[in-house]
Chains A and B, each alone.
Chain A
Amino acid sequence: MADTSMYRVQTQTRASYSAGAVCIALIILFILLPTFAGRGLIQDLFFIFTMLVLAQFWNLLAGYGGLVSVGQQAFVGMGAYAMFGGVILWGMDPVFAILLGGVAALIVAIPTAFFAFRLQGAYFAIGTWVIAEVMRLLVAQWKVLGGGTGTSLPRTATREMWATEWIQTTFDVRGAAARDILTYWLALALVIATIAGIYWLLRTKRGLALAAVRDNVEAAKSVGVDAVRMKWLVYLVSAAGTGLTGALIYVQKLRISPDAAFSVTDWTAYVIFIVVIGGIGTIEGPILGVLIFFILQSLLADYGSWYLMVLGLIGIAVMLFAPRGLWGLISEKTGLQIFPVRRRLVLTNPKDGSNSIQSDKQREA
């Protein structure tokens, strides 16, 4: 067929190839970082990575799925509490209990989705928030895990955590520092898996369908996209990923309480600002957003509530004047795309192409 030899569908850009190389170099650097970096940097990066994962999942939900949830703290909290439950009630190793956190978030997401999907738009946002509040209040009734005041991971469990002994001897550090390195690596793995996974998802047929559903549910339906199934997929994937992240965050924090683990500010407000400021509906946006968020936090950390005020004002300003976020501005100006998902038609071999057309014509003649 002449057509197929002339054109192919391509998503890569030249920038994305060099970005790919930079990414691989960065990943190697990040893996090796604990050999020479101090504990402070490791902890900062842990914070950045985990917030980035939360932001990517919220972005998947709201930016790609069109599901504006104000209740993702439900899954952070459920994941974290499930991890604590696994450790305290069943004596699991905290590292493996993280997986339990993901599973638990997935399980509670099913009835939640069943309920929340009956709601549209703004109702959905408020509904998810109420559900998160209900979970917080229910968990506060769970006396074995400290009720409303919360509890800590038992010493024995944290000391004997998987791989910490090996890290202690290899890097010659104490238990607490070893735990930081371990959680840092886990967060790094989670970030890579999340970005790679979402990138892959968006480039598959399903990803295209997702964009179609976001842009116009009715039109997408008419060309055979199952909008309901896509919403379920995105919602459940986001819930599970958010749950895993929540569990991981609390393996590092060691102490949990319902108010902290189900905090709408920490796990949803911050995350929304990261995504909005960086650029909603792109993979690059949350990465840029989390860096800005972290810099602002470091600069304004001493000013208490001024920090949140500034963050809120920036969020409002971005929404008013640059609704596609800072990354939107950058890629508009430069055309830069690191994670391109847009499909482009590329002329592969014009010479062959013209030949084949000619031969067709000759045959006609």
Chain B
Amino acid sequence: MIWIDTIIQGVLLGGLYALFAAGLSLVFGIMRLVNLAHGDLIVFAAYLILLLVSVLGLSPFLAAIIAAPIMFGVGWALQRHVLNRVLGPDILPPLLVTFGLSVVLQNALLEGFSADSQRLPAGEITTASVQMGGLNLGVLPLLTFASAILVIVGLNQLFYRTELGRAFRATSDDAVTAGLMGIRPERIFATATAIAMLVVTLAALYLGMRANFDPNIGPARLIYAFEAVIIGGLGSLWGTLVGGIIIGVAQTVGAAINPEWQILAGHLAFLIVLLIKPRGLFPRAVD
């Protein structure tokens, strides 16, 4: 029974990682852009929510709703004015620019909020739990997992059922020809990053309510997110969820054996999957 509990906790944790990863997967899938600042943007959004909570006295959920359009704008501007300028066949410039951005964000947050760890005050929901078939499941992890599923369903709908989604896929396939069809690739990219930042805000909300955070935890979140994206396979959002779950389960199982092995077990699971399937479990797009 203890093992079933451990695995279920891992699956729920995987939901959080999938939330970290969904925005990354979207951006990566559409423009092959590796955003090394993705983790720091999640932490940045968490601080933004914290700021709104403490200044306006809002609940974290309400604060996230206000933070979301701000992050949307941040994503749009970042892509439009910085990242679009370095996109191209050479992957080095975008890597280095987002790496620089990661360092800048981390240290700006350090300056602004100090290195003390913070937490979003979510009240009773943090400790609430429900009984399910003899298992005691936290409400917040369940909510996180449900949100992850919703986000992925939502993004898939956007991708395969809307005009914007068609433009996303067309631009991802062939930006030059998309231009000939009246699509401005730069705008599509900016929209994609802006939407990714909406998901980032949601991820930040759960990150901040579930555990302490400080300005330096971004890169570790980035790594988990990336592991989830890569395990899942480029361009497959459901694959990203599966990837998140694999990392989550590996971490909780590792931690159950020896608390020091939690992170290590997640990384090893990633390396093993990649060794067997270098393109991930469900590769869709051709890279």
A contacts B directly (C-beta below 8 A): yes
| Chain A residues engaging chain B, CB cutoff 8 angstroms | 62, 68, 70, 115, 118-123, 125-127, 129-131, 133-134, 137-138, 140-141, 148, 264-265, 269, 272-273, 276, 280, 304-309, 311-313, 315-316, 319-320, 323
CB<8 Å pairs between A and B, sample of 8: A119-B278, A121-B32, A122-B34, A127-B274, A130-B271, A134-B271, A304-B111, A320-B86
Given contact pairs A118-B274, A130-B270, A305-B110, A269 touches B103 in the complex (Cβ within 8 A): yes
Whether B264 contacts A134 by the Cβ 8 Å rule is yes
Partner of A313, one of B100, B227, B287: B100
**Is the beta-carbon distance between A126 and B91 smaller than 8 angstroms?**
no
Cβ A134 vs Cβ B267 within 8 A: yes
Which chain A residues lie closer than 8 Å to B28 at the CB level? 122
Instruction: Determine the residue in chain B with the shortest Cβ distance to A119.
Output: B278
Q: A121-B91, A133-B267, A309-B103 are in contact. Are A276 and B96 (CB under 8 A)?
A: yes
Chain B nearest CB, measured from A360 CB (Å): 46
A311 and B32 contacting across the interface, CB-CB below 8 Å: no
User: A137, B264: Cβ atoms under 8 Å?
Assistant: yes
- Report the nearest B residue to A303, measured CB to CB: B111
B111 touches A309 (CB 8 A): yes
| Pair B93/A316 contact, Cβ less than 8 Å | no
A120 to B260 Cα, complex, angstroms: 31
Instruction: Name the residue of chain B whose CB is nearest to the CB of A320.
Output: B85
Complex Cα distance A304/B106, Å?
12
Contact with B274, one of A119, A140, A264, A276 (Cβ below 8 angstroms)? A119
Report chain B residues within 8 Å CB of A140: 260
Known A122-B91, A312-B107; contact A319-B267, beta-carbon cutoff 8 A: no
- Contact (Cβ within 8 A) B271 A131: yes
Could you tell me the distance between the alpha carbons of A129 and B224 in the complex, rounded to whole angstroms? 11
Chain A residue numbers with a CB within 8 Å of B97 are 315-316, 319-320
Given A68-B95, A272-B96: A316 and B101 interface contact (C-beta under 8 Å): yes
The CA-CA distance from A309 to B102 in the complex, in Å, is 9
Interface string of B258-280 (1 = CB under 8 A from A): 00100110011011001100100
Tell whether B108 is near chain A: CB-to-CB under 8 Å: yes
Nearest chain B CB to A183's CB is how many angstroms away? Answer: 28
Q: A122-B91, A130-B270, A320-B82 are in contact. List 20 more A-B contacts (CB 8 A).
A: A70-B36, A115-B275, A121-B32, A122-B34, A126-B226, A126-B227, A126-B230, A130-B223, A131-B271, A133-B267, A304-B110, A305-B108, A305-B110, A308-B106, A312-B102, A312-B103, A312-B107, A315-B103, A319-B86, A320-B86
Give the 3 A-B residue pairs with the shortest CB-CB distance, closest first: A122-B34, A312-B103, A305-B107
Shortest Cβ gap from B129 to chain A (Å): 30
Complex: chain A residue closest to B92, CB-CB: A68
Q: Cα distance A140–B258 when bound, in Å?
A: 13
Q: A119-B278, A126-B230, A269-B103 are in contact. Are A315 and B96 (CB under 8 A)?
A: yes
Q: Which B residues are in CB contact (< 8 Å) with A308?
A: 103-104, 106-107
Contact with A along B76-116 (1 / 0, CB 8 A): 00000010011000011101110111111011101100000
Residues of chain A contacted by B95 (CB below 8 angstroms): 68, 70, 122, 125
Let me know if B75 is at the binding interface, CB within 8 A: no
Option from A115, A122, A323 in Cβ contact (under 8 Å) with B93: A323
Question: In the complex, are the beta carbons of A141 and B268 less than 8 A apart?
Answer: no
Task: Tell me if B219 is interfacial: C-beta within 8 Å of chain A.
Answer: yes
Name the distance in Å between A128's Cβ and chain B's nearest Cβ.
11
| Given the contacts A137-B263, A138-B264, A126 and B96 also touching, CB distance less than 8 Å | no
Residues of B within 8 A of A311 (CB): 103
| Residue among A115, A134, A280 facing the most chain B CB atoms (10 A cut-off) | A134
B17 CB → nearest A CB, Å: 14
CB distance from A69 to the nearest CB of B (A): 10
Please determine whether A68 and B104 come into contact, CB atoms closer than 8 angstroms: no
Q: Which residues of A contact B230 (CB under 8 A)?
A: 123, 126
In contact, B104 and A316 (Cβ under 8 angstroms)? yes
